[in-house]
Chain A
Amino acid sequence: MNNPRYLLAKFIPDLSRMEPRNIGVIVWSKNGTAARFLAEKPATREIDGRSIPGFITNVTNQQSYKQWVGFWRSELKGSVIEPVYGGPSVSVQDSRFIDVLKESGRGHFILEEGGFLLDELPLGADAGELADYLFSSLIDETVTEDTKDPTLQQLTDQVLAKSTMRSTRGFSSDYLVECNLGKATDTLKFNHAFQNGHLSLFQKVSLPRRSSVLEKNVHSTAWMFEQVVKANIIDSRERGFALVYVPPEQMQEPAVDNAIKILDSVASVYNLYNQEEELVSKLKTLAEHACTE
């Protein structure tokens, strides 16, 4: 069969539950091959680690995802493909190419038959356009769950260790605060808190590239800080710490710039890309102050 065929790349977060989620599409046609994966930058096809969905980064690290996508892309580059588990090579011109490729998935990363087109691609038509179309129809880029930012996580841990804050009396994690909102009571959970007569609250705010998730993260954090200031649970916005990780190139994006301004209106924002030491010294001061009180 010479009709264009496609595979769906899937990630299985929990092998015992077997609930694969689509992460990419690979197209084979007589005109060539093409692939699209989640978190790829459209211009370069490089993986943007910050945009890898949480259902992957909650299970493994960015590098595993990058290595799998890199592997599948490298398999597509050749004029022939060699079966992973042995056997004769198959030419990229042969539709069995995609069957051989399908066998390369294992464990959490698999490839499954997607389907085929009833017509061949017109001469000169680009397999990439078909891949774009399939990707937009079959792969959900608007996953709404929180994406954990491993860099932010790691740097925050580093700051807490360097400042000795973590071992200081009065420090706690997953700190719950109850806020009265009219007749209702809302329980807000902050990543960390430090109580030394005055309460300080810390919240990591991941700023992924997907604007819907970025908006959600920022609005939710800003609202939390606003409520705790309003309810006098913390003395002032200076006692609220919003921790972000924003490299310079991301800072240029209007949505990110605006997000920082929103957070800054309700809390002290520390960008751990370049303010790690500043935050360490601030926390040391807080911790030392606690010891002398």
Chain B
Amino acid sequence: MTAHFYRIAKKVKPTGVGVTDSYYVELSAVAKNNGPNAPYCIPNEFIAGEIGRFLGLPIPPMGLMAVTGTSGPPDIWFASLDFNFTGVNLPPADRDACVKQLPSLSTGLIIFDTLLINCDRHRGNLSLDTSVTPHRLSVFDHSHALFGFTDGQGEQRLTDLRDKLGISGGVFTHGNRHCLLDKLDTFSHFQYWVDRIKCLPDFFIDDIFDRVENLGITATEITVGKDFIKHRRSNIVQILDAHQAEFKGITQWGALR
């Protein structure tokens, strides 16, 4: 696993007396809020981001940010650091290069999106920097994962997709077929990522759901959400095994533990 660096946009000034080589800096970040096209944007992004980073996927550092005004409660946004080290967006990812150069990360991403029933993994929300060796993958945009993109239908979606693959773009999932699903041609890294997913602790899952309370999801959705992720974590092998036919590039499916 290689280190990911993020860009300091501006070094503003030293922090002050007594602290050497420490500076206030300005960072570039992308911020989002719940909206008509993504009513569960904040909870989906935050929960997916925390789980993805726990698993070791290249999801930029992120968190909940408060915009404070002169009156009223602060406006809460989700924000993640701009991963474009060169100052501009890179083009959509080359999927063939992605699975060929980074087969393990590609596998991890598919299993992670399966865990979170992310129906919106197209090549526009993957970025692959091919100018560095090894290529640098960045994964972003999970606003349509988990509770989905239809206001008030979050709980229903989790119920409908409880044991589905959730990334095939089929009649239950809707959205897009996962952009790497037909491209991945090796089974070699499945166990590695399954093992990681199984390590997700209950307390961690409980905490991250609790942190987005009142930020677009109801108390019931939080309860159902926690149960949903714990269920899929514990049954990830069964879910993958049951849908092995969807992995069209993999000719030899192995035994997962």
Residues of A within 8 A of B (CB): 59-61, 63-64, 66-68, 70-72, 74, 82-87, 104, 106-109
- Give 14 A-B contacts (CB < 8 Å), ordered by A residue: A60-B87, A63-B129, A67-B91, A67-B129, A71-B92, A71-B94, A84-B122, A84-B124, A85-B176, A86-B122, A86-B175, A104-B92, A106-B124, A109-B88
Distance, CA A74 to CA B94, complexed state (A): 9
Contact partners of B94 in chain A: CB under 8 A: 71, 74
Is A64 in contact with B86, judged by CB distance below 8 angstroms? yes
- In the assembled complex, which residues on chain A have CB atoms less than 8 Å from the CB atom of B177? 86
Q: Is B220 an interface residue (CB 8 A)?
A: no
Interface bin, chain B: 20 to 34
* B86 and A61 contact, CB distance less than 8 A: yes
If over half of B's interface residues share one DSSP class (helix, strand or loop), that class is named, otherwise mixed; here it is loop
* B121, closest chain A residue (CB): A86
- Given the contacts A84-B123, A84-B124, A104-B92, A59 and B87 also touching, CB distance less than 8 Å: yes
Interfacial residues of chain B within 101-148, with CB under 8 A of chain A in the complex: 120, 122-124, 129-131
What chain A residues lie within 8 Å of B88 (beta carbons)?
59-60, 64, 107-109
Which chain B residues border A72 with CB–CB below 8 Å? Answer: 91
Chain A residues in 8 Å Cβ range of B84: 107
B170-216: which have CB < 8 Å to A? Answer: 175-177
Nearest CB on B from A103, distance (A)? 9
**Which chain A residue shows the least CB distance to B130?**
A67
Nearest A-chain residue to B125, judged by Cβ: A85
Q: Is the CB of A106 within 8 A of B89?
A: yes
Task: Indicate whether B250 reaches chain A with its CB closer than 8 angstroms.
Answer: no
Identify which of A64, A87, A107 gathers the most chain B CB atoms within 10 Å of its CB.
A64
B122 pairs with A108, CB closer than 8 A = no
- A67 partner, pick from B122, B123, B131, B176, beta carbons under 8 A: B131
Return A246 CB to nearest CB of chain B, in Å: 23
List the 5 shortest-distance A-B pairs measured between CB atoms, nearest first: A107-B89, A86-B176, A71-B91, A63-B131, A108-B88
